[in-house]
Amino acid sequence: MSETITMLRAEHRVMTRLLDLLAGQVDRFELAEATDYELMKEIVDYFLTVPDLYHHPKEDLVHARMLRRGGAGAEGMHDIPAEHERGSERLHAFSRALVSILLDAEFPRDRFVQIAREFLDGERHHMQGEEKGFFPAAEEVLTVQDWAEIDERTAKLQDPIIGEDKSPRFQVLREHLG
């Protein structure tokens, strides 16, 4: 199995756990219970930086190689780069809503929860689609040589929470993930 696919799946597991932590805080906010805004900010910071710098470039490289390879797996493939762009739009909307809440701006609680859930649901749906469709199609269509070249090119793109070079920047999240 490809190191790239193995890492992409591991990164999805981390992102899923972070989304679960975030969803718990959104639930608390919705119920007007004590909410850990620092944790929410850390999770948003992770999603604002890590996927676009470390995760999506790997997926985009696999996607591009699949398109070059053609075949049945590539024909029914989603437009991964466009999906990443839509996810980024949902994330930025949520980020702006969170900043409004943190600044005590007039922002309706139900609107914040709606925007948060759109981000959470969108990310979960996107990753499930990749796990069930994109990754298996890639494993079917790409050759051993394709994977060797992809693995070589993506080796330095390691998630700062689970990669070899763990960044102190995300220490709080590592602690929450256990």
The predicted structure's pLDDT at residue 52: 92
The predicted structure's pLDDT at residue 67: 87
Q: Are 34 and 28 in contact (CB under 8 A)?
A: yes
Domain boundaries, the chain: 3-177
The predicted structure's pLDDT at residue 74: 54
Share of the chain above pLDDT 70, in %: 96
CATH number of 3-177: 1.20.120.520
135-148: average pLDDT = 94
Q: Residue 148: which residues within 8 A CB-CB, separation 6 or more? A: none
User: Sorting pLDDT into bands at 50, 70 and 90, what band is 78?
Assistant: low
